């Protein structure tokens, strides 16, 4: 995971890396479960499928803890993992920032997919991050500049297809002619998850993220920027199969004595539904 998304790329507020290390050694279990959130259902699935490690994108521990008890659902999940020989690793914003990470995956989707950068360019939205040797490793957010401007309706269709969603939320910038969905856009700022603070002070035709605060959306559309919101984890979950492939490649290169199975959770899902 460190080769895929170096932890030094994570934002300063974040809590990433190996957050739970089980004291139980499972020498005959070589299975990794990938998930966005460590829910009760995901823990049960991981125990049933005999995983030895869970890679949970969102950190399972953020603030200081004065106790670990079964009364708290999240703490209970971590305690159950430890008791069943499962460790938990969380990459979060390191996986957002790294080149080839979640934000680049989102960028590919709105440019037509398949990494076809001939349809546009992808730039850092904020300052690049560099390795100790001076190599560029990633950046916070992305700015897509389309080679050919498209209408909002075309962009909305690309987002839905890429994220496999039937519905998204759109805030249209005010236009004099009132033709909101037919307005053309060229620049799209991207941030997986919650993008309000990342977009602050950044100019683009569209802000594309999972969620923003109410007043952040109002300020954006008033300033002439369209907003596309898809639900926090809906902008992240589709990357898990990509991560599975990357992790399998790294584990194969490490030449372990036994092969590893990389599973994407079947029970991990967005907590809110349209009804």
Binding residues for a divalent metal cation: 58, 96, 232, 236
CA 186 to chain centre: 23
CA distance 144 to 129: 18
Contact 30, 261 (CB under 8 A): yes
Q: How far apart are the first and last CA of the chain?
A: 37
Closest to 144 in 3D by CA, of 115, 120, 119, 113: 120
Place of tokens 């959306």: 217
Radius of gyration of the chain (CA): 20
H or E element that contains 148 = strand 142-151
Greatest CA separation found in the chain?
66
CA distance 34 to 238: 11
Helices (H) and strands (E) in the chain, counts: 8, 13
Sheet holding 120-124, edge to edge: 120-124, 142-151, 184-194, 206-211, 226-229, 169-171
Residue ranges of the annotated binding site are 58, 96, 232, 236
């Amino acid at each position: 995971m460190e080769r895929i998304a170096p932890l030094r790329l994570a934002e300063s507020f974040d809590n990433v890396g190996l957050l739970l290390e089980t004291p139980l050694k499972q020498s005959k279990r070589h299975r990794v479960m990938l998930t966005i959130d460590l829910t009760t259902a995901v823990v049960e699935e991981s125990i049933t499928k005999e995983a030895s490690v869970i890679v949970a994108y969102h950190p399972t521990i953020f603030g200081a803890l004065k106790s670990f008890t079964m009364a708290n659902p999240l703490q209970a999940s971590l305690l159950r993992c430890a008791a069943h020989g499962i460790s938990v690793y969380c990459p979060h914003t390191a996986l957002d920032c790294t080149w080839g990470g979640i934000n680049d995956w989102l960028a590919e989707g709105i440019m037509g997919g398949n990494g076809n950068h001939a349809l546009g360019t992808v730039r850092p939205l904020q300052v690049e991050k560099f390795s100790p040797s001076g190599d560029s490793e990633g950046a916070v957010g992305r700015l897509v500049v389309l080679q050919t401007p498209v209408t909002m309706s075309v962009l909305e269709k690309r987002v839905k297809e890429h994220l496999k969603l039937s519905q998204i939320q759109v805030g249209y910038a005010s236009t004099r002619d009132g033709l909101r969905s037919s307005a053309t856009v060229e620049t799209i700022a991207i941030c997986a998850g919650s993008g309000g603070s990342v977009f602050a002070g950044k100019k683009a035709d569209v802000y594309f993220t999972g969620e923003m605060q109410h007043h952040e959306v109002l300020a954006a559309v008033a300033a002439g920027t369209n907003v596309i919101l898809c639900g926090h984890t809906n902008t992240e979950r589709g990357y898990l199969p990509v991560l599975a492939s990357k992790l399998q490649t790294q584990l194969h290169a490490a030449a372990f004595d036994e092969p590893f199975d990389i599973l994407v959770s079947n029970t991990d899902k967005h907590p809110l539904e349209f009804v």
